[in-house]
């Protein structure tokens, strides 16, 4: 098992927060490092929308299977679709798999990042083989953690879409739904909730991250827009939002 807690040779470099079985991050977070650390740890969830774009486009192209809307085309009594054509099973699968793979990458990059005020920390800090998600060793555990963060993102994204439809706000061609907060905050909040509820013993579920999460929420609409502009630029989205 590869975990910082079992690396005594590096203990002189590790802040006290990493050496406690009841770790606290509060003293190690600054105004700038807190939100950046949250963004890094929750990056699989934050980029799940991008993975959903890839899944929604590449899976049909590779398999010949047309995108299947999650709502099956059904409408509610208000006359609007439940979610719309933009939420597909293809995209959901792509988001979950992509987020899982991305968490494996952040786990690999963060292995030795143990300096005080560090940003690129291992999302599996404090994890061990007794955890429920420890399936297939450390790499399987990293994939599962990322996959659930991606699922949280998709749940929040669908929730935002559901509310927009009930409000009569929907995308029509190049015309925006004009609901930037509903396009961003639900997926971020649900991603955070997924991490806090399912992985309370990991660094991503530490309560000291709650305050930095609020700071990151302020920046989330900007991050989301830049991601969508990139997706539009490379041809993964029909509109840049």
| pLDDT 10s digits, 168-194 | 776 544 444 556 677 778 999 999 999
Looking at the DSSP bridge assignments, the partners of residue 230 are: none
For residue 175, give Cα distances in angstroms to 39, 48, 159, 187, 199. 30, 24, 21, 22, 39
Q: Looking at the predicted structure, is the pLDDT value of residue 65 above 80?
A: no
Cite the DSSP H helix spans in 110-177: 137-166
Handedness of CA 98, 190, 120, 15 (dihedral sign): negative
pLDDT digit string, tens, across residues 9-57: 333 333 444 434 344 565 566 667 788 899 999 999 989 988 888 877 7
Most confident by average pLDDT, 40-44, 53-57, 207-211, 225-229:
40-44
Q: Report the C-alpha gap between 96 and 161 in whole angstroms.
A: 18
Q: Report the C-alpha gap between 210 and 220 in whole angstroms.
A: 15
Site of tokens 């420890």: 134
Give pTM, 2 decimals. 0.79
For residue 8, give Cα distances in angstroms to 13, 57, 60, 203, 213. 10, 47, 49, 19, 31
Site of tokens 């660094």: 203
Q: Report the C-alpha gap between 99 and 94 in whole angstroms.
A: 8
Q: How many Å separate Cα 111 from the centre of its chain? A: 20
φ, ψ dihedrals at 157, nearest 5°: -65, -45
């Amino acid at each position: 098992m590869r975990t910082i807690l079992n690396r005594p040779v590096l203990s002189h470099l590790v802040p006290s927060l990493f050496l406690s079985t009841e770790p606290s991050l509060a003293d190690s977070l600054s105004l700038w490092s807190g939100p950046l650390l949250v963004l890094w740890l929750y990056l699989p969830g934050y980029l799940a929308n991008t993975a959903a774009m890839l899944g929604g486009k590449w899976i049909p192209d590779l398999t010949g299977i047309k995108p299947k809307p999650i709502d099956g085309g059904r409408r509610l009594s208000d006359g609007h679709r439940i979610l719309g054509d933009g939420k597909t099973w293809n995209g959901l699968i792509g988001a979950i798999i992509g987020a899982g793979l991305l968490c494996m990458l952040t786990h690999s990059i963060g292995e030795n990042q143990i300096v005080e005020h560090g940003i690129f920390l291992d999302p599996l800090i404090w994890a061990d083989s007794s955890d429920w998600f420890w399936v297939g060793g450390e790499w399987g555990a990293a994939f599962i953690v990322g996959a659930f963060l991606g699922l949280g993102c998709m749940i929040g994204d669908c929730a935002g879409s559901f509310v927009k439809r009930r409000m009569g706000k929907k995308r029509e061609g190049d015309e925006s739904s004009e609901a930037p907060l509903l396009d961003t905050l639900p997926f971020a909040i649900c991603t955070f909730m997924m991490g806090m509820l399912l992985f309370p013993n990991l660094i991503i579920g530490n309560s000291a991250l709650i305050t930095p999460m609020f700071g990151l929420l302020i920046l989330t609409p900007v991050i989301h827009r830049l991601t969508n502009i990139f997706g539009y630029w490379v041809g993964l989205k029909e509109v840049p939002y």
